[in-house]
Structure formats: C-alpha cells, structure tokens
Amino acid sequence: MEICISNELIHLRNDRISYVMGISDEGFVTHLYFGKRLESLNTVNIYRRFGLPESGKITLSGCQLDPSLNGLLLDRVPQEYPSFGLGDNRQGSLTVMQEDGTTTVDLRYVSAIVTEEKPKLSGLPATFGTNKTLLLTLFDALLQLEVELRYTIFDDCDAIARSAVLRNKGKQRLVITNAMSLSLDMPDANYDLLTLSGAWAREREWVRRPLVFGEQSVSTNYGASGHTTSPFLALLTPGTTETQGEVYAASLVYSGNFYAGVEVDRFRKARVRMGLNKDGFAWQLAGGDTFCTPEAVLVYSAHGLDGMSRQFHCICTNHLVRGQYAKAPRPILLNNWEATYFNFNEEKLLKIAQTAADVGIELFVLDDGWFGHRDNDTSSLGDWTTDLRKLPDGLPALSKKIHAMGLKFGLWFEPEMISPDSDLFRTHPDWCIHIDGRPNVESRHQLVLDLSRPEVCQHMYNAVARMLTDAKIDYVKWDMNRNFTCIGSSYLRRDQQMELPHRYMLGLYSVLERLTHDFPHVLFESCAGGGGRFDMGMLHYMPQTWCSDNTDALCRCEIQYDTSLIFPPFAMGAHVSAVPNHQTGRITPISTRGKVAMSGCFGYELDLNKLSADELEEVRKQIRFVKAHRMILLYGDFHRLLSPWEGKDTAWMAVSPDQKQAIFVLVRSHATAYEMPPLVKLQGLHPAFVYKIQETGECYTGAELMQFGLCCPLPDGDVASVSYVLEAVTEGEDQ
C-alpha cells in the first residue's frame, strides 16, 4: 500500500486497487481514476474523455460549447469535492453560506500529506487499523474555509475510506447546508444502480435498475438510517453477477439521516455522492469551529457482488468492529420476547432459563417489560428501575439466579426514548424532541429524547451504567423504536435547530463510546424495531445488530441474504422462533429455522418448554452444531450461491480462511413434484482439495464442486432445507 504524490498526480494504491487524482495549474483537484490497480497513468486519455484540454488546464471563465476557444467551465470536470457556484451545475458536495447570504464555494489545492496514524474523526465512528491516510487540504480564500479531504487506503481490503473536515479559519459565521462525505465522478454512466429498500419486517430488499439521466437516490430523514433503505449504493457494470463484473460501491459509517445517490449528466457521466442528508440540515460554523462529515467506505470489486461483499466484510471484520467480541465466538442466546412478550414474572422466566441452560444455551436475555410499570408499550420508557410486581426480588437477584444456572444474563433497553407516562417525562417534559406550541406526535406511545442536550446524554449513560453494574449484565439489546417528528430542541439556539438530527447522533455516539469503554465485557446488540438502524456506524460500537423483527425462516432467507451484501454473518442477530410464526403465520420445520438462524448470531426466541421431546432434541443438536462450527459460520468467507429473488431455492456457504472447512445451506421455499434435486455451484473452495461431505461421506474435489456443482436432494415438504459440512481430507496439487 502506498500513496505517491507528484506535482500533478496523487496515486493511492494497494496490490489490487488504485485511486488517482490530479491537481490542475489553477489548484482544482480532479478525480481521474478508481478501480483495478494501475502501474502508471497517462492522463491525456482521461482528460480527452472528459472534454478537457490535453494539458489538463482548467480555467474558470470558459466557453460552454467549445472548450478549445477559451478555457473550460467546471461543468465537465471530474472533481474530488465539487461545489456549486463556479460553473459546475451538477449536484455538489459542499454548500456553505457566508454572512452576505451567498453560497458559492471556490476550493483550491493547498497541500497533500500522508500519515500512518489515521486522525480521529471527532465524535464519529470510523474505520481504524493498519492503513495510510492522505490529508488533502483545500482552501477558499474568500470564505477563509479550509477543507481537509481524508482518504485512507488499506492493505487487506480493496477500499478507500473518505471523509471531509471543514474548518472556519476566518471571523465570519458560515452556515454549512450540504457537506458530503464522498463524491466520485465516473467516466461514463453505463451501470446498474443497486440500492436497498424495505420496511419494518421486510428490511433491505435489493433494487437493481439501470442508471438514467438525472438524479436517482435513496435517503432518509427519520433520525435513523431507517427500515426503508440503507446508507449504501453500488454501481454495477452491465451483466454483473455474483462472481463476474465490476462493482463500485459505498457504505456510510453513520446511523442518522443520510443521502446516497447518483446523478447522470448531459455528457452521460455519473456522479456518485454519499453523506449527510442535506434536507433539514444546516450547521453553524463560527470562526475557529470545525465540522467533520461521517466517513464513507468506497470499495471496488472486479469479481461481481461476491467480491464487493468480501471487501465490505473485510472492513467490518478488521477495521470497524471493536472490543472483546470482535472476531470472538458469540454466545448462543435465548430471548424471552416472542416467548412471553410483556407477560412474565420471575417464575416464568426462570423456568424458560432453566430449560435453556439444560439444552446448552449460554445467554438468557430479558427483553422489554422489566422496568417501571410496563405491561404494554404505553408507559415507562425512561424509568429504568425494576418493576417489582413482576420481579419482586429485583433484577440483581434475578441475574444472580440466572448466572447460577451457568448462563450469562442480558437485558433489553430502549434508552433513547421517553414515554409520556413516565416519571422521567413528568420531571423533565422538555427533555424530548419537540416544538413548543405544537402537540407531540407519539409513535408506539413514545417520544424521542433530545440527545443534543448534554444532561440528557449524561442521564442516559447513568441509567444504563447503573443497571449494568447493579445487575451484572453481560449483554445489552439496545433498541430504538420510532422515528423523529416535530424536530425541535428547547436546548439549542434558534439558528441551531437544523443541527438537531446530527447533534442527536453525536450525543448517542458519545454515550456509546463511554459505555463500551467502561463496560468492555458487555456484548451490545443494536436494534431499531428490528433492523431499522443496521449500518456501519452502529457496528463500530455494537458488534451485532438484530436483523429484523421478522423471524419467519423464509423471510429471513431474503433479509439475511440481502443484508450480507454489506454485512458479514457475525453482524446479524438471527433466532429460531415458534410456529406458526408470529409475523407471517407460516409453519416451517424447526430444522430449517435452525439452519437459517445459524447463519448469523444464533439464538432462540421462544418458550422451549412448549416444544415436543423431538423438537427439543433437534434444539440440542443445533446447539451442538453451532458450538462446533460457529467460528466458520460467523467469520468464514460468506458466499451467496442462489438468490431467493430468482427462484424457490436460496443457498449460501461459509468457508474457513484456510479453505479446509466449509458449511453449506440450501432452503427451498415450497415443494414441487417430479423435479431433479437442485444443483448448486459452490464457491471459495480450493480447487485441488478433496472435500468429504460429513453428512454423506462422499468426496469431491473443490474444482468439481465449483465447476459442476453439488446436487442437493431435499426432504419433502415446504420450506425444506439441507446443510452440509465439507472437510478437506487431502490437499491435492494446485491446479
């Protein structure tokens, strides 16, 4: 990995990718190339493609129709951090208003330095680890605004992490109304755009469409990254499949309102942008102030979507998740939510926990309903004290009893919320996000705490920290169940109100940073009404996310399959639940429910005491299997094999890093008559290794399994499944 800086070019590269930018005579920083590694670059060709003079000379006053007449307008220049107002009329990366009300920004190159130590992105989650970072400084002399563009390149992942740091070096107050994390000007627009859409219980469904003229984007302004889409996009060369084609993709390390989009211009070139959603956003930058954009991770794959996911998974595994649970086995848990909902007492919980301990479960999680007087979702958020009607001996006593069974003990919190029916609200009615004079809009009977207020953040920290200490908590499910409305803060100044959504995120991140630092042994699982805040930002603090409130095995095939585009299995919470499924009413075999759940952080969400002896035996078998194979299931190279969107079969596999072990799973949505068993081409195996399939005793070379495929007879019935463990028995010659 190296970053080479010459007079005119800056070239970041590792063994596989290159990212090249140019510096023009006039100080404009151009984007020249991102993709497969280049040894050298003759820029004439690139300048020609963009209609630039071959010298690369860019002047501000030009002729729109014929650049050779008199310089050139910025309108066609591929730029690293384009702004509006100087002639580039495409969507920009930066808009800043000065005191006279004008919004033009003119950034010119000042310096480029390389650092081995990646500077912290103040208050924000970001990638870390062995890497090199380019700090590229630009300056607007009139605004006295310095913009430091940061580019980090990694040895082990084909990714560039980007962010921008804005510093007001002058005296006048500036207002930032748009500050992207990433802008990428492509030389053409011949791509499909892949984004994720969805809803509660249907998170992250993929949407693939050819780029067309104009802007196409996804964004949220819920206050969270949201259920309906994800801070992610990918450009795919035509015909790209799982294993073939070039992919340029980006994912934002942020959990709040975001924008991710592409604009195709009149020259049929695509500009990708990603960052904070500028709708509803305005940030006061007084003289001497600094503002950091969130970080965006840009990846390149020459090997289709599988290659793209490999890079994102590499970033998540090696450069994003921290703490003692990173790269460590995750405990098999039992969560009482779907087993009891709010209707439990200590006796009922202990009975479920005892059976859990008997079958080999390692962690018992007490979900919603243990605090205040919460018998349903209408009250008590904010009152994080034990409901002694349900747990008369208190939570510490329950925790002790659970621990005595040999189980770890986990607890549900929804710390960012406040119920109007709570002591906290009665004491501090102004602590919620609200607008004076407007009635509060409740959702799930609750309001959102105003985390722009330091005392609210402190209170939130204290409430959670006290419980973690008093009750010896080993795991926290950190939930967040509603979006923002009536966005106002009685703490912020009038001119800061549009800072609230981002300040909220900064407040949340500061609390998470403290809690994860002060309670390093606690495993945190992020949740937002299921997977409503599944993003790289939360993953920096919490190594796993509850994928969806939908626990139906068939729906989970879709949700987990699509989630795996960005996130590895260790990031996805997945549970076996009861049938008929509580979200869909579908009845599926327990073996299939187990196989689907074990492709994530495995657990159960049902009352084991209601299972038959046969089902309980199957549970024991599943737990033994997960304990034996969880490192491959969680951390092996994950490959999608058959898509649930393309047929009735979904298949995937995980391969150990040394390629000596693999686990394969196939699920068929519905039975059909008079058909051959499915044939699936495996991936990621060593072609010359001979693999023995444990379940059948049959042996095949990796080459056969990848080139001809594996034929998988399925049991009868709907939602049937099969799984195989493959072990390399001999290592043949390399082919």
Q: Please give the residue ranges that form the binding site for ligand GLA (CB under 6 A).
A: 337, 367-368, 412, 479, 481, 527, 529-530, 546, 549
Judge contact between 174 and 285, C-beta under 8 A: yes
d(CA 53, CA 42): 14
Minimum CB distance to ligand GLA, residue 414 (Å): 7
Judge contact between 677 and 724, C-beta under 8 A: no
Minimum CB distance to ligand GLA, residue 444 (Å): 8
Minimum CB distance to ligand GLA, residue 483 (Å): 13
DSSP state letters, 30-59:
EEEEEEE--S---HHHHHHHTT--TT----
Minimum CB distance to ligand GLA, residue 473 (Å): 16
Cβ neighbours of residue 39 under 8 Å, at least 6 residues apart?
Answer: none
DSSP state letters, 141-154:
TTTTEEEEEEEEEE
The tally of CA atoms less than 13 A away on the side-chain side of residue 678 is 24
Q: Which is nearer to ligand GLA, 154 or 534 (CB)?
A: 534
Which of 75, 88, 479, 562 is labelled catalytic? 479
Q: Which helix (H) or strand (E) holds 557?
A: helix 553-563
Is position 549 annotated as part of the catalytic site? yes
Question: Alpha helix (H) ranges present in 636-734?
Answer: 702-707
d(CA 115, CA 3): 10
Q: Which residues pair with 701 in a beta bridge?
A: 690
Which of 140, 367, 549, 562 is labelled catalytic? 549
Minimum CB distance to ligand GLA, residue 130 (Å): 36
Judge contact between 329 and 634, C-beta under 8 A: yes
Q: Report phi then psi at 176, rounded to 5.
A: -85, 125
Q: Which helix (H) or strand (E) holds 563?
A: helix 553-563
Minimum CB distance to ligand GLA, residue 412 (Å): 5
Minimum CB distance to ligand GLA, residue 409 (Å): 16
Q: In terms of C-beta density within 10 A (0-12 exposed, 13-18 middle, 19 or more buried), how is residue 679 classed?
A: exposed
**Which residue's C-beta sits nearest to ligand GLA?**
368
Is position 100 annotated as part of the catalytic site? no
Q: Which of 735, 594, 732, 570 is nearest to 660 (CA)?
A: 732
Judge contact between 653 and 700, C-beta under 8 A: no
d(CA 177, CA 183): 16
| The token pair that represents 275 in the structure block | 């960052």
Q: Which is nearer to ligand GLA, 88 or 414 (CB)?
A: 414
Q: Which is nearer to ligand GLA, 81 or 384 (CB)?
A: 384
Pairing state between β 699-701 and 689-693: antiparallel
Minimum CB distance to ligand GLA, residue 660 (Å): 37
Q: Which is nearer to ligand GLA, 532 or 684 (CB)?
A: 532
Judge contact between 465 and 518, C-beta under 8 A: yes
Q: Which of 349, 294, 314 is nearest to 182 (CA)?
A: 294
Q: Which is nearer to ligand GLA, 412 or 602 (CB)?
A: 412
C-alpha 108, offset from chain centre: 33
Q: Which is nearer to ligand GLA, 17 or 339 (CB)?
A: 339
Give SS3 for 569.
helix
Minimum CB distance to ligand GLA, residue 582 (Å): 11
Minimum CB distance to ligand GLA, residue 6 (Å): 52
Give SS3 for 89.
coil
Q: Which is nearer to ligand GLA, 125 or 530 (CB)?
A: 530
Beta strands (DSSP E) in 265-372 are 270-276, 283-285, 290-292, 295-301, 333-335, 363-366
Q: Which is nearer to ligand GLA, 158 or 368 (CB)?
A: 368
Judge contact between 616 and 534, C-beta under 8 A: no
Q: Report phi then psi at 224, rounded to 5.
A: -140, 165
Give SS3 for 616.
helix
Q: Which is nearer to ligand GLA, 296 or 332 (CB)?
A: 332
Q: Which is nearer to ligand GLA, 128 or 200 (CB)?
A: 200
Active site residues: 479, 549
